[in-house]
Copies of this chain bind each other. A is one copy, B any other.
Amino acid sequence: MKVTELAKEFGTTPDTVRYYTRLKLLNPAKSVNGYKSYSNKEVSRLKFILSARNLGFSVADIKEIINESEDGKSACPLVRSLIKERLEETEKQFQAMLALRGKMSSALSRWEEMEDKAPTANMVCHLIENFEQIKKA
């Protein structure tokens, strides 16, 4: 299988496949003409990678998981521990986005009934600069 064929097989892009290949998550043989040739093993490997990405694992995580399994060990304990970390991070980011969304939406509605103002020497836009004060130390 060539790069583009493999990518289409799972609805991803050739660039993504090439990226994983550069990181040696996939290890295709070299075809006569220098093209990369992916075997069935690579196909299921890619499927695994995409599933893991879908679940929030980083590419570095995935590399670690694969290394573990190539040592013949069960990757399950590692996988459980990693997803705990990632879930915590996701939760933090989620809360941050929740707060940001609220701020943005409140700014938007407040700004719709405020007038335009020309900039001054030390004020670029009064909408932004008066919305929330950044505290000085």
Question: Is A33 positioned at the interface, with any CB of B under 8 Å from its CB?
Answer: no
Given A9-B137, A137-B9, the answer on whether A100 and B56 have CB atoms closer than 8 Å is: yes
| Interface residues contributed by chain A, number (CB under 8 Å) | 69
A105-119 vs B, CB cutoff 8 Å, 1 = contact: the mask equals 101100110111111
Given A87-B104, A117-B76, A135-B11, the answer on whether A129 and B55 have CB atoms closer than 8 Å is: no
Q: Determine whether the beta carbon of B122 is less than 8 Å from that of A41.
A: yes
The 6 closest A-B pairs by CB, nearest first: A69-B119, A76-B116, A44-B122, A74-B116, A75-B125, A87-B104
Q: List 29 A-B contacts (CB under 8 A).
A: A8-B137, A10-B136, A11-B137, A40-B122, A41-B121, A50-B134, A51-B128, A51-B132, A55-B103, A55-B128, A55-B132, A65-B125, A69-B119, A69-B124, A74-B117, A74-B119, A75-B124, A75-B125, A76-B111, A76-B115, A77-B116, A79-B127, A83-B107, A87-B101, A90-B97, A90-B104, A91-B101, A94-B98, A94-B101
Chain A residues within 8 Å of B, Cβ to Cβ: 8-11, 40-41, 44-45, 47-48, 50-52, 54-57, 65-66, 69-70, 72-77, 79-80, 83-84, 86-87, 90-91, 93-94, 97-98, 100-101, 103-105, 107-108, 111-112, 114-119, 121-129, 131-132, 134-137
